[in-house]
Amino acid sequence: MRLSANDPRRGRRPAALAGAMLVVLGACEAPPPSASSSRAQVDSVFAAFTAAGSPGASVMVVRDAEVLHAAGYGLADLSDGAPLRRSTPVRLGSVSKAFTAMAVVILEERGDLDFDDPAVRWVPELARFERVTIRHLLNHTSGLPDYYGDSPLGEMGTSADRQGPLQNAEAIATYETWGEPPFPPGERYAYSNPGYEVLGLIVERVSGLTFAEFLQREIFTPLGMSTASVRYLPETVIPGRAIGYSPNEGDGGWRENDDHWGNWLMGAGGVYASLDDLYQWDQALHRWSAAGERTTQAFAPARLNDGSESDYGFGWNLSDRLDRRAVHHEGGWVGFRTSLIRFPEERLTVIVLSNASAAAGDLADSTAAIFLRER
């Protein structure tokens, strides 16, 4: 559903962005830039979004708590011409998974659950998958079949007879009668949006709060993420949020791509946040990491049954980017594409949020390459 860097269903790159990707190659050969030169190079990377009537992308670069560059390019809403700003909430797609994982970490920290608890303890709908643990769900090693494939889920979500949106409990009840595990739990990594939707339901059932309430109370408000929220119902209003768009085939125009029956399944996605919100999130991750709190297991690779490791922790990819150690995630859902890359050793973070179906990961890499040359 909300797509990671490893997921084959990521959106394609609009043709207008192809030239901007060449910035990475040029950046590797040029001398270290000045601050003003760096900003100009980032503006060049995002130049495709400055055309009149275009949705866009926003970008923030942070080093050692200092915002080196933050800007929005293009429009958040084509219907009213509202610009995309650093303060505009954007649907995060799979970047939401880090918040879901942190919610589970907080519950474990309080002793309300254990990572090695069988998920069925909290979700009896998984009785046919009794060996799956919370840890398996967190690091995508559960072996749950993907109900976005050939299950009845799509038909359920689009049925004309539905009363209200499809939500987690109903979707996960699909497993009571459908699907066989493609592999035993812990045998290998396989990216699973349903697994994170199970985690969203576990957060609700353990805490007694809705998923949206828990994130607001335990993460967004304490961290000062003032515009972050979860859009869990069609009528949920997020003031000033971006609308998602995708390019039309052939004519260079745009079509709204913001609505989907899966919008209301929480855990794998559903979070909206701005660059300013994600700055606060990034700084909290630095604090917790320095104190040895909350991030230790989140930033540790999963250990598989055969003793080998995968490149995924709890809500984070742990593979290298630009030949450097990185902790990162990407997201893609309807017309939104997002990327958050943290380079721990360089204390550099790059965040890209797009409502134009852009190749956010490529844009983030191009931007990161510019600032990595400064060291």
Q: What's the pLDDT tens digit per position in 57-103?
A: 999 999 999 999 999 999 999 999 999 999 999 999 999 999 999 99
Residue 80 falls within a domain, yes or no?
yes
pLDDT value at position 28? Answer: 37
pLDDT value at position 224? Answer: 98
Residue 271 pairs in a beta bridge with: 230
Residue 367 falls within a domain, yes or no?
yes
Q: Specify the number of domains making up the chain.
A: 1
State which residues form the domain around 163. Answer: 15-372
Q: Residue 13 pLDDT more than 60?
A: no
Q: Residue 240 pLDDT more than 50?
A: yes
C-alpha 3/C-alpha 222 separation (Å) is 28
| Section 237-257 average pLDDT | 95
| % of the chain surpassing 90 pLDDT | 87
CB 181 within 8 A of CB 143: yes
Structure tokens that stand for 213 in this block: 């309430």
Residue 131 falls within a domain, yes or no?
yes
Residue 252 pairs in a beta bridge with: none
95: how many CB neighbours lie within 10 A of its CB?
A: 30
Return the residue matching tokens 């009896």: 124
* Confidence class for position 149, pLDDT limits 50, 70, 90: confident
| Section 225-232 average pLDDT | 98
Q: Residue 42 pLDDT more than 80?
A: yes
Q: Residue 10 pLDDT more than 50?
A: no
pLDDT value at position 250? Answer: 83
Q: Residue 275 pLDDT more than 80?
A: yes
CATH of the domain at 65: 3.40.710.10
The whole model's pTM is what? Answer: 0.91
Q: Residue 19 pLDDT more than 60?
A: no
C-alpha 338/C-alpha 242 separation (Å) is 13
Structure tokens that stand for 24 in this block: 């990475």
pLDDT value at position 33? Answer: 55
DSSP 277: H
Residue 232 falls within a domain, yes or no?
yes
* Confidence class for position 34, pLDDT limits 50, 70, 90: low
Residue 169 falls within a domain, yes or no?
yes
Residue 7 falls within a domain, yes or no?
no
pLDDT value at position 162? Answer: 93
Backbone angles phi, psi at 185, to 5 degrees: -55, 135
CA distances from 298 to 5, 218, 270, 301, 315 (A): 17, 17, 20, 8, 7
Q: Is 170 exposed, middle or buried (0-12, 13-18, 19+ CB in 10 A)?
A: middle
Residue 5 falls within a domain, yes or no?
no
| Section 150-163 average pLDDT | 93
pLDDT value at position 249? Answer: 87
Please give the mean pLDDT across all residues of the chain.
92
Return the residue matching tokens 């670069």: 61
* Confidence class for position 36, pLDDT limits 50, 70, 90: confident
Q: Residue 22 pLDDT more than 90?
A: no
Q: Residue 374 pLDDT more than 90?
A: no
pLDDT value at position 6? Answer: 42
pLDDT value at position 375? Answer: 62
> Who wins on pLDDT, 29 or 282?
282
Backbone angles phi, psi at 285, to 5 degrees: -60, -40
Give the DSSP H or E segment for 213: helix 211-215
C-alpha 230/C-alpha 215 separation (Å) is 8
Residue 4 falls within a domain, yes or no?
no
